[in-house]
């Protein structure tokens, strides 16, 4: 007697074609738009109106476009930061904290170390300080992972809050502006500390930092020994050691570089936008960066495009408040949905599902 039974078997796909995963990426964005649209509908809003208002708010006029570029800058830099770490299978969730530390370091230079320097000295100094501040904040989890095998997902996460609290401490305490009545924040930076911006718009040099960093990262990853080692260590640390690569050193270096990029993002925020250090300088860029990096499949050039897209969503949803009276939470909702659908869709790019019919001989056991 033969019985049929269905069996599901998973086969890992080694190399999904670009067509396959482009379809998945685009599909997930579409599905996210539809799902959030349904939520909007249920809440009594017209999704098309909402989306149109978002696009308008982000790209409708030159000013809006500039604002989109403004928000894109930190997303681009932190996206790159996250991507370089993720490429080596180092789960840096701490870009947010590294951004804050970079901002703190840059602010320190602007306010106390070189307050009277000219722009030509001060801005590079702030840039270096921001990079070092972020690098330190990335290197600490790097050392903990390299020497003690402490999971970097948790250590970087915890250090986020330490960094934010430290910033708040400075801003409420020793660095507080004595002349600001009741508002926590440092004194405004010297004029020389402001990043040049384009005409009267708010978009500033930080965007250039980001674009340059993206190109540099691409070159480093593709064309240097360093990038080569990142690829190999990320795929198989054992084979990397067999090939003579110094994996422990690389862990620390890569996390430091990752932190440095996020630190530059922090520097660019305080030098380009805030012109002082406040208790909150980021609405979660470091976390959004993870979405950016993941959506861009860790490719630096794609990160440019994706950070722009995410910024459109962010800025667009911020504008909803003024435009049609909706809270700005539509943005995070949409971003979360996109990421979710992407994760679900990745299943299709990672595995091929075989549903097989298995003919099975049923045994007459007693006989």
Partner 1 sequence: MDSVWSINFLVAVLAAAIPAGTAILFACLGELLSERSGVLNLGVEGMMLMGALAGVAFTIWSGNAWVGILGAILAGAAMASLHAVVTVGLRANQVVSGLALTLLGTGLSAFLGRNLVGKPLPDKFGDISIPILGDIPKIGEILFQQSALVYLSFVVAPIMWWFVFRTQAGLHLRSIGENPAAADAMGVPVNWLRFLYVIIGGGFAGLGGAVISLSTNPGWTEGMTAGRGWIAVALVIFAGWNPLWAVGGAYLFGGVQAGQFQLQTVGVGISPFFLNMLPYLFTILVLVIASGDQARKRIGAPAALGRPFIREER
Partner 2 sequence: MIEGAAAVESPRNPVAIELTDVTKRFGPVVANQDITFDARYGEVHALIGENGAGKSTLMSIVAGLYRPDSGRLRINGQQVHFKSPRDAIERGIGMVYQHFMLVETMTVAENLLIGMPQQGVSLKTDAAAAAVRNLSSRFGLDVDPDAYIWQLSVGEQQRVEIIRLLFRGAKILVLDEPTAVLTPAEAAGLIKTARAMAAEGYCVIFISHKLDEVLRVADRITVLRRGQTVGTVAPGQVDRRSLARMMVGREMAAPPVDRPAPGTETALAVRNLCVISDRGLHVVNDLSLEVRNGEIFGIAGVAGNGQREFAEAVTGLRSIVSGEIEVSGRDLTGSSAAAIAAAGVAHIPEDRLATGLAGGIDVETNATLRHYRNAPLSKGPVLMRKAMGAFADRLIAEHDVKTPSRRARVRQLSGGNQQKLIIARELAGCPAVIIASSPTRGVDIGATEAIHHLLRSHRDRGAAIVLISEDLDELRSLSDRIGVLVRGRIIDTIPVEQASNERLSMLMAGIGPDYVAASLHAAPVESIAVDD
CB of 171 to partner 2, least distance (A): 41
Give the residue among 260, 264, 272 at the shortest CA–CA distance from 119.
272
Question: Per the structure block, which two tokens stand in for 280?
Answer: 């909150």
CA gap 268, 343 in Å, rounded: 31
Kindly state whether residue 352 participates in binding partner 2, applying the rule CB under 8 A. no
Closer to partner 1 by Cβ: residue 40 or 254: 40
CA gap 366, 362 in Å, rounded: 12
CA gap 82, 92 in Å, rounded: 6
Give residue 236's region: left, alpha or beta (phi > 0; psi -120 to 50): beta
Segment interacting with partner 1 (CB under 8 A) among 20-28, 147-155, 175-183, 357-365: 147-155
Kindly state whether residue 211 participates in binding partner 1, applying the rule CB under 8 A. no
Q: How many CB atoms lie within 10 A of CB 228?
A: 14
Number of residues that bind partner 2 (CB under 8 A): 27
In the numeric block, the tokens 């926590």 are attached to 184
Segment interacting with partner 2 (CB under 8 A) among 38-46, 176-184, 225-233, 318-326: 225-233
Give residue 310's region: left, alpha or beta (phi > 0; psi -120 to 50): alpha
Kindly state whether residue 224 participates in binding partner 2, applying the rule CB under 8 A. yes
Segment interacting with partner 2 (CB under 8 A) among 32-40, 45-53, 79-87, 355-363: 355-363
What are the DSSP calls for 152-164, one per residue?
Answer: HHHHHHHHHHHHH
Of positions 232, 303, 310, 339, contacts partner 2 by CB under 8 A: 232
Helix (H) or strand (E) holding 358: strand 351-361
Question: Per the structure block, which two tokens stand in for 128?
Answer: 């270096």
Binding mask 177-206 for partner 1 (x = CB under 8 A): ------------------------------
Kindly state whether residue 361 participates in binding partner 2, applying the rule CB under 8 A. yes
Of positions 344, 352, 356, 358, contacts partner 1 by CB under 8 A: 344
Of positions 20, 172, 222, 352, contacts partner 1 by CB under 8 A: 172
Number of residues that bind partner 1 (CB under 8 A): 51
Segment interacting with partner 2 (CB under 8 A) among 138-146, 231-239, 251-259, 344-352: 231-239
Of positions 17, 236, 280, 356, contacts partner 2 by CB under 8 A: 236
Long-range contacts for 179-183 (Cβ within 8 Å, ≥24 apart)? none
Kindly state whether residue 357 participates in binding partner 2, applying the rule CB under 8 A. no
Closer to partner 1 by Cβ: residue 265 or 338: 338
Closer to partner 1 by Cβ: residue 119 or 299: 299
CB 196 within 8 A of CB 206: no
CA gap 320, 56 in Å, rounded: 10
Segment interacting with partner 2 (CB under 8 A) among 111-119, 147-155, 204-212, 228-236: 228-236
CA gap 146, 135 in Å, rounded: 16
In the numeric block, the tokens 């190999």 are attached to 232
Closer to partner 2 by Cβ: residue 241 or 279: 241
Of positions 45, 56, 231, 346, contacts partner 2 by CB under 8 A: 231
CB 133 within 8 A of CB 266: yes
CA gap 139, 307 in Å, rounded: 25
Q: Which residues bind partner 1 (CB under 8 A)?
A: 9-12, 39, 43, 91, 93, 144, 148-151, 153-155, 157-159, 161-162, 165-166, 168-169, 172-173, 287-288, 290-291, 294, 326-327, 329-337, 339-340, 343-344, 346-347, 350-351
């Amino acid at each position: 007697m033969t019985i049929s039974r269905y069996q599901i078997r998973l086969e890992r796909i080694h190399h999904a074609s670009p067509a396959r995963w482009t379809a998945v990426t685009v599909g997930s964005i579409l599905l996210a738009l539809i799902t959030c649209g349904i939520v909007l509908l249920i809440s009594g809003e017209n999704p098309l109106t909402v989306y149109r208002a978002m696009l308008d708010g982000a790209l409708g006029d030159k000013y809006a476009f500039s604002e989109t570029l403004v928000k894109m800058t930190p997303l681009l830099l932190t996206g790159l930061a996250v991507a370089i770490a993720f490429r080596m299978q180092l789960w840096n969730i701490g870009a947010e904290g590294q951004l804050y530390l970079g901002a703190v370091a840059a602010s320190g230079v602007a306010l106390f170390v070189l307050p009277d320097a000219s722009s030509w000295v001060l801005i590079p100094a702030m840039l270096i300080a921001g990079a070092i501040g972020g690098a330190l904040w990335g290197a600490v989890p790097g050392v903990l992972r390299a020497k003690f095998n402490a999971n970097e997902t948790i250590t970087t996460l915890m250090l986020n809050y330490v960094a934010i609290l430290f910033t708040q401490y400075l801003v409420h305490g020793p660095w507080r502006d004595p002349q600001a009545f009741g508002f926590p924040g440092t004194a405004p930076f010297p004029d020389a500390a402001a990043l040049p911006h384009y005409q009267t718009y708010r978009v500033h040099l930080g965007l250039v930092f980001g674009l340059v960093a993206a190109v540099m990262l691409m070159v480093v990853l593709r064309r240097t020994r360093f990038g080569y080692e990142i690829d190999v260590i990320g795929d198989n640390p054992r084979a990397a050691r067999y090939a003579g690569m110094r994996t422990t050193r690389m862990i620390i270096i890569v996390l430091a570089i990752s932190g440095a990029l996020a630190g530059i993002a922090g520097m660019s925020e305080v030098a380009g936008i805030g012109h002082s250090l406040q208790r909150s300088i980021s609405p979660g860029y470091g976390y959004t960066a993870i979405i950016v990096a993941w959506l861009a499949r860790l490719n630096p050039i794609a990160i440019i495009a994706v950070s722009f897209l995410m910024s459109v969503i962010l800025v667009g949803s911020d504008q909803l408040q003024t435009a049609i009276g909706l809270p700005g939470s539509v943005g995070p909702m949409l971003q979360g949905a996109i990421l979710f659908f992407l994760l679900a869709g990745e299943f299709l790019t990672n595995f091929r599902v075989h549903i097989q019919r298995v003919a099975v001989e049923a045994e007459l056991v007693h006989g």
